[in-house]
Amino acid sequence: MEIIYQSTRNAQERATASEAILKGLASDGGLFVPTQIPAFTVPFAEMAKMDYRQVAYEVMKLFLTDFTEEELKHCIASAYDEKFDTGEIAPLREADGAHYLELFHGATIAFKDMALSILPHLLTTAAKKNNVNEEIVILTATSGDTGKAALAGFADVPGTSIIVFYPKDGVSPIQEKQMVTQRGANTTVVGIRGNFDDAQNGVKAMFNNRELAEAMKAKGFRFSSANSINIGRLVPQIVYYVYAYTRLLAAGTLRDGELLNVVVPTGNFGNILAAYYAKCAGLPIGKLICASNDNKVLYDFFQTGTYDRKREFILTTSPSMDILISSNLERLIYKIAGDDADKNAELMRALAEEGVYHITPQMREELADFCGGYATTEQTAATIRNLYEKTGYIIDTHTAVAASVYNTYRQKSGDNAVTVIASTASPYKFTRSVMTAIDTKYDSMGDFELVDELSRLSGTKVPQAIEDIRSAEVLHKTVCAKDKMQETVEKILGL
């Protein structure tokens, strides 16, 4: 069965999987979604005997139907290799009654590696399939992790270049150092004086600028996206929820068909949307618990049915979740509107023009499987400290938001179903916040002193990604105003 993709804002704009990956964003500003979500065909008990690459193929072949078996297996093998520091790729760690799905064992120690290790291979394969001769310019906004993972994935990939915008004062010191020291002749990193939403809005505006597209075409360039708005980012994320379920099945922790709860620390909504797609495809998931930080726009949405971005933007210790416009939520809105592109387009217009939209009571009923929660910065720190003192396991700030929300959910609901918490980043990426949560005495230490102390406390080896930046030279020093992003891109590309 061939799966076709269409825009969430225009039912007439359709694309194959490879075309949707190449475009990134639909021409009307909508996101590409499958016209139907395929059902898993291989029994979970059988997948429980497979390794990560084999599970990835069984899942991804259902969604990326215009890729041949040879093409898809080559992309998977190229992505999930020695770049990951464990053969399991995404191991599970049990601690204090929950199973932490460690998604940070890739080259940049964050969950974005899970999809951004394979996206360059999907994209270059898609370009060949569609006879694209222009250089593909990956244009991306990051709240911290996507940027480095995309840079690492696309560095020196023939036929591509990558430009990453990030909020200059809105990422952790380690995140920034990872990006600005990135090597690769085709890589550019730009800090903006603004927040992540400003960066994301600027990138979307460039994607929707027809004059810019024509100017680029004349010079032999075309845009694509590495953000989670690209369906080539979303499909690989479905894999690790299936993998987690089958590992728990193999261990006897779950019975085949038993419901699994999933808790995801959520910013742009792509990671939890992948779990929702897995559920729609037949994975036995019970509750999808959406965890927010102090920027609780999603929590308020699930509580009220109103999405309202008109609020103070708060910088927290979980910066990858400091987002007020969760782009991937649009894919869910489209689905609960009955795949109604016109209704979705109307709501997205309201968000853009008025900063708020309200879903109907019928749409709210479709959200019954979702549960929203949020954790303050203080609660996040307390969760890190308590889990460490109780078990010796150390988690990062984003994972701690999810763990805090899960603890509250379990106390209030009495729901003791087997639960997976998406552990989205290594604690080494947020050492100061993590270590001072454990004990304020650590605040007087330098960043790399903290790295070594974290290694001692946790009994884990310092990741290579951190060792690499201890003395790395800063190669990217450009900073621009939020309204000068297009001008900066034009200069980089020589337009």
For residue 123, the 8-state DSSP code is H
| 312/300 Cα distance (integer angstroms) | 14
Burial degree of 43 (CB within 10 A; 0-12, 13-18, 19+): exposed
Reduce the DSSP state of residue 456 to 3 states and report it: helix
Residue of 61, 112, 177, 335 marked active site: 112
The torsion angles phi and psi of 383, rounded to 5 degrees, stand at -65, -40
Long-range CB contacts (< 8 A, 24+ apart) of 323-326?
Answer: 323/143, 323/196, 323/197, 323/200, 323/267, 323/268, 323/295, 323/297, 324/197, 324/295, 324/297, 325/197, 325/200, 325/201, 325/351, 326/266, 326/267, 326/268, 326/269, 326/297, 326/298
Structure token pair of residue 269: 């909504």
What 3-state DSSP class applies to 192? strand
List phi, psi (to 5°) of 419: -130, 135
**What would the two tokens of residue 322 be?**
């400091």
Query: How does pLDDT run along the chain (495 residues), one tens digit per residue?
Result: 899 999 999 999 999 999 999 998 898 889 999 999 999 999 999 999 999 999 999 999 999 999 999 999 999 999 999 999 999 999 999 999 999 999 999 999 999 999 999 999 999 999 999 999 899 999 999 987 788 989 999 999 888 999 999 999 888 888 899 999 999 999 999 999 999 889 989 998 998 899 999 999 999 999 988 877 899 999 999 999 999 999 999 999 999 999 999 999 998 899 999 999 999 999 999 999 999 999 999 999 999 999 999 999 998 999 889 888 899 999 999 999 999 999 999 999 999 999 999 999 999 999 999 999 999 999 999 999 999 999 999 999 999 999 999 999 999 999 999 999 999 999 999 999 999 999 999 999 998 999 999 999 999 999 999 998 888 999 999 999 999 999 999 999 999
Helix (H, G, I), strand (E, B) or coil at 464: helix
168 is catalytic: no
Q: What is the DSSP string of 238-277?
A: HHHHHHHHHHHHHTTSS-TT--EEEEEE-SSSHHHHHHHH
On the CB side of 439, CA atoms within 13 Å amount to 10
